[in-house]
Structures are given as C-alpha cells and as structure tokens.
Structure 1
Amino acid sequence: MERMYRVSMNTIVGLVAVVFLLPVAYMIALSFKTEGVPFIDGGALHVSLVNYHKVLSEAPIFHWMWNSLLVAVIQTFIIVLVDSLAAFAISRIKFPGSKWLFLLFLMGLMIPAEATLIPIFLMMRDWGLLNTLYSLILPGIASPFGIFVLKQFFDGLPNELEEAARMDGAGYWRIWSSIFIPLSRPAFAALAIYSFLAAWNDFLWPLISISNRTYMTITLGLPNFQSSYMQQYSLPMTANTLAAIPLIIVFIFFQKQIIKGIAFTGGKE
C-alpha cells in the first residue's frame, strides 16, 4: 500500500511539473523560430539564432538585467540588515512602548503598497531622485514583513545564550552579531529570498519613477521592447527567455535555500 502511495504521489508530482514546464519549453522553442517560417517543414527542423541577434542588437537586455540585479541585491542586503536590527531591538531590548512599536510595524502590513505610491513619488521628486537607481532602492530598504519574521524567530532563541554572553561582558551589538546572526540563518535566508524576488519582479513602482531607458529594470524594459512587436511572437519570447536566465541560474544554485526558506515562512521551526 505504501509503495502504491509513493508511486501515485510521484506520478502526480511529475504531471504537475510537466504542466508547469510546458509554457517554459514553448517559450524557449519559439525563441529559436524565425518569424513567418514553420518550425518543422518537410520533416526538417528549422532552428535559428536570428531572434537572439535581433533582440540583443535592438534592446539593452543585459543592461536592464544589471539594473535589476543591482537594485535587488542592494535592497535585499539593506532590508536584512535593518530588519534584523529592528527585530533584535524589539525582541531582546526591553524599553517603554516596545510592544506598541511592534504593533505599529504590523499595521504597516495592512497598508496596500498602492496607497504609498503617491507620497513616495512626491518624496523622490522633491529630493531630485526620480529617474535614478536611488529611487528604486530607497523606498524598499525596510520591510514590516521582515521585522515580523525575524522578531518571531528571535523570540524562539534560548534566553540562556544571551545571559551567558552578558556574563562574558558582551553588549547588545556583540550578542546580535556573534549569537543571533549565526543562529538565524534560516530566517535570514527566507527573508533574503523573499526580498530579492520582490525587488526583481517589481513593476509598478519602476513604471512610475523611471522614464529614462538607461535606468529601466528588466520588468519595465521588456514591456517597453515588446510594445514594438505586438503582432509577432518570436521576438517577445526571445526577450522573455533571456530575462528568465538569471532566475533559472539562481534557482539551480540556491534551490536548497529557496525550499528551506519557503518551508520556514510556512511555519515556525
């Protein structure tokens, strides 16, 4: 019975994987197809790299990828740093109003991102940062979600570790850097993965704050490029294939951390 169950589950998982992989395979196949030429004609397979040459010559795909990578990496690093310090202070430093401050952060999760677009836009405009990468990085350098996740994890760490460090003369900074950071790697990985993907996939805010093609991210540059080829399929699919390469590479090298991060956010360990 157990063997039949495993075979059935593996079959179901395999079918689901095929369903999800079919659109990706179709996208990659179209990227090698010349527009107006049948992919298979007379039993012969017509494969061409002309689409890749045309896309790379007409659109700065790699430059847009670099902008997205730069914004995502810097924003993720700052979010993990700032949120971990804030979560540590709320979790381990007892001061008047700490519970109300944490409640205030939780209230930030209830505010839709769309409601903050106009105030942030006006702030970036007054600072003269529109149409720069700073306008993409600065609005996302802190996350209420990250503070909540890390605070919950810090609360679960034994108090004895902190007390032992205090007996050795360690201060808050030493306790945070030498004890809490090494023990909180699963939480940091989960937050870093979430923050990186959110920054990489962000579209609405770059659409509002960036009009200069030089500072466009990949999520904004692709629709800008594809709008010129609305009646074609191969060139947009080629651009999407190129844009998917970095995420595929990240998943291949960090799949274990991604799976652990997803499992961690699903429930407290």
Structure 2
Amino acid sequence: MKKLGHMAGHILMVIVALLFLTPVVWMILLSLKAEGSSWFQSSGFLGLNLTLSNYSKVLSQAPIFGWMGNSLIVACSSTLLILVFASMAAFTLSRNPFPGSKVLFFLFLSGMMIPSEATLIPLYIQMKDMGLIGSLESLILPAAAAPLGIFVMKQFFDGLPKEMEEAARIDGAGAFRIWWNIFLPLSRPAMSALGIFSFIGAWNDYLWPLVSISNKAYMTITLGLPSFQSAYLQQYSLPMTANALATIPVLIVFILFQKHIIKGIAFTGGKEE
C-alpha cells in the first residue's frame, strides 16, 4: 500500500509539473511559429511549421538585450544593497541592542504591512527632490530599505550561539570584524535565500519603474516588453518571442541556483535544519 501511495504521489506531481510547464511550452511554440501560418503543416518538426526568423526580427526591432542589461544592473545592485544593509541592521538589533531597539525593530516589521502602492507618491517626491527620478539609481536605492531582509537576518542571527561572539570579543575583535568574519560566513543559508528572492523581486518589479522611468534608454525588461507588445496587438508570434527571450536570464538563474532556491523556500518557511 505504501508503494502504491508513493507511486500515486509521484504521478500526481508529474501531472502538476506538466500543467505548470504548459504555458512555457505554448510560449516557445508560438515564438517558433511563423506569423499567419497554421499550426499543422507537412513541413517542420513533428508536423509544425517552426522557424527562428521571429527571433531575428525581435532583436532587430527592439533593444531586448539593453532592457535585460538595465534589469540586471538594477537587480544585482539592489540585491547587494539589501544583503549588506539588512545584515548590518540585523546584526546591530540582534547582538548590540540599545534603548528603543525593540521599538525600532517593530517599526521595521510594520513596514512589511504597508503596500508598495501606498509609498509611490512619497517615494516619487523624495527621488525627485534628490534629482534621481528617471535614472537607474531611483530603482536601486529604494530597494535597500528591505524590512523582510532585516527580519530574516535577525531571526538567523538570534539563533547563533553567543559564545562565539564572546570569544571573539575576548580576542579583541570589534563589532565590524565579528559581523564580517564570523556572522556573515555562518549566515550563508539565510543570505542565499534573501539574495535569490531579492534578485527575482527586483527583476520582476513593474509598478515603481513604470512611475519612475520615462526614458527608453533606462527601461527595464518589465517596461520594455509591454511597450513592444503594444505595437503588435494583432499578432502573437513576435510578442511571444520577446517574452521567450526575456525568460532566458530567469531560467539560467533557476538552473544555476535551483538547490539554493529550494533551500531558501524551506528556510523562510522555518524548516531549515
């Protein structure tokens, strides 16, 4: 009975995986289909009339790689800032408490309950006053204030034994050296989870870049794709081709960091051993 139960579970997982893969396969097939041609013809792979001409058309008509480059700069820079500032703030709140630190941590947590839409106007005014509106800096700097990152890192630092810190202080190490040489190397699971989710969140962000960026040279991939698709409302192949190209970096990140993503989901869910 146990074997039948395991087999049924595996079959169910395969079916669910195929359901999730269906939109991806559909997107790829549409990107390889010549515009205006029927699905099933005598030529092509498995009876499908497939072509790579759509990819050359898209690359010649839209700066896909430029948009990807902007998104990559924003996502990598935002992730680096989040990891640095969140870990430093979490280390201070966890290991160097001060009067009002608990209240400050509560204020950080309360920031997680505020929807991003509610901060658009004050954030826009602040970036405009700083002269950064319309630049990539306006997309990178706000990401440094990540309440979730502070929460995740503080929870991890709270679980580390105090004896290591006390031994380091006896040896003459200061707060910065303890954070850099001891706590950061030990927090790789938490840093990996936070870094991956921060990168994906910055890559997929749409609302704030839509408000902040008006220059086409600084458009991210989430802004560039809708502007390209709006010119081909009556077509399907070229927009799907652009979407297929835009998913390549995300697929590469997933393939390279698949184990870290799974561990990160388990860690943020409180199941990390």
TM-score, shorter chain, exceeding 0.5 = yes
TM-score bin (small chain): over 0.9
The yes-or-no answer on 1:176 pairing with 2:150 is: no
The yes-or-no answer on 1:35 pairing with 2:35 is: yes
Gaps of 5+ in 1: none
Write the distance in 1 (CA, Å) between the matches of 2:254 and 2:143. Answer: 23
Does structure 2 retain, via aligned residues, the 8 Å contact 1:35–1:232? Answer: yes
Deviates more, 1:73-82 or 1:42-51: 42-51
Write the distance in 2 (CA, Å) between the matches of 1:133 and 1:157. Answer: 37
Write the distance in 2 (CA, Å) between the matches of 1:99 and 1:257. Answer: 31
TM-score normalised by structure 2 residue count:
0.96
Please state whether the residue corresponding to 1:41 is helix, strand or coil: coil
The yes-or-no answer on 1:241 pairing with 2:244 is: yes
Quote how far apart the aligned CAs of 1:218 are: 0.2
Who is 2:80 aligned against? 77
Does structure 2 retain, via aligned residues, the 8 Å contact 1:153–1:268? Answer: no
Deviates more, 1:236-245 or 1:122-131: 122-131
Aligned residues between the structures: 269
Deviates more, 1:167-176 or 1:144-153: 167-176
Write the distance in 1 (CA, Å) between the matches of 2:11 and 2:185. Answer: 39
Who is 1:151 aligned against? 154
Does structure 2 retain, via aligned residues, the 8 Å contact 1:132–1:215? Answer: yes
| Residue 69 of structure 2, aligned match among 66, 71, 78 | 66
Q: Identity rate of aligned residues, in percent?
A: 63
Quote how far apart the aligned CAs of 1:42 are: 3.4
Write the distance in 2 (CA, Å) between the matches of 1:259 and 1:125. Answer: 39
Write the distance in 2 (CA, Å) between the matches of 1:4 and 1:163. Answer: 54
Write the distance in 2 (CA, Å) between the matches of 1:194 and 1:35. Answer: 36
Write the distance in 1 (CA, Å) between the matches of 2:132 and 2:171. Answer: 46
Please show how residues 179-218 of structure 1 align to structure 2 within 5 Å: 179-218=182-221
Who is 1:109 aligned against? 112
Quote how far apart the aligned CAs of 1:268 are: 5.5
Who is 1:94 aligned against? 97
Which structure 1 residue ranges, 4+ long, deviate > 4 Å from structure 2? Answer: none
| Residue 52 of structure 1, aligned match among 47, 52, 55 | 55
Write the distance in 1 (CA, Å) between the matches of 2:218 and 2:185. Answer: 36
Quote how far apart the aligned CAs of 1:265 are: 0.5
Q: For 1:36-89, what per-residue CA distance to the aligned partner results, in whole angstroms no more than 9, with x for missing partners?
A: 111321364321112111111110001000100110000000100000000000
Quote how far apart the aligned CAs of 1:95 are: 1.2
